[in-house]
Amino acid sequence: MNTQKITLSILLSILLFFLASCSPTPDPESVVKSWNDAVNVGDVEAALEYLDDNAVITIVPPPAGMSGIFTGKEQIRGWYEGNAALNGFNEMVEIQVNGDKVNWTSKFGMDEWREIGVESLDILGEGVIVDGKFQSYTVTIPPESLAKLPPPPN
């Protein structure tokens, strides 16, 4: 009788441990939406939680005076903090998921652009999300969208 109770307790403990360790990984679309929400409210720490520690972000074309490549959370933090300071806002238009790859189109704007009459620029994004975290993503501003902004000073 005691042997059965002990065996049942052990099996139940193993089952509970297994179930606890198998928490579902968020789907890539949910990750993109939650990450975007955090970025939009300027919550840099929350946005960084959706990135792998060694994530790489690429901005095409690169911002003036920068390489456009940000590697690791500390470099990315600086980029996110700059966008937050300018009240950057990214409105997702469409998200497509294919396995761990995600593509999106969005409209990105910031105070600096609004002051010169440009509400937003069209953005194309593509990323890789593994285990609920961005491994990398690239955002591209198409030339026709970039043409809305005045050329950078020399």
Following DSSP, what letter does each residue of 66-77 receive, concatenated?
A: S-SEEEHHHHHH
Burial of residue 89, with CB atoms counted within 10 A of its CB: 0-12 exposed, 13-18 middle, 19 or more buried: buried
Q: How many residues does the chain have?
A: 154
pTM of the model: 0.80
The per-residue pLDDT for range 46-78, each reduced to its tens digit, is: 999 999 999 999 999 998 889 999 999 999 999
Say how far residue 54 (Cα) sits from the centre of its chain: 13
Q: Residue 147: what pLDDT?
A: 94
The per-residue pLDDT for range 94-129, each reduced to its tens digit, is: 999 999 999 999 999 999 999 999 999 999 999 999
| Pick from 140, 114, 111: nearest CA to 125 | 140
The pLDDT of 26-41, averaged and rounded, is 94
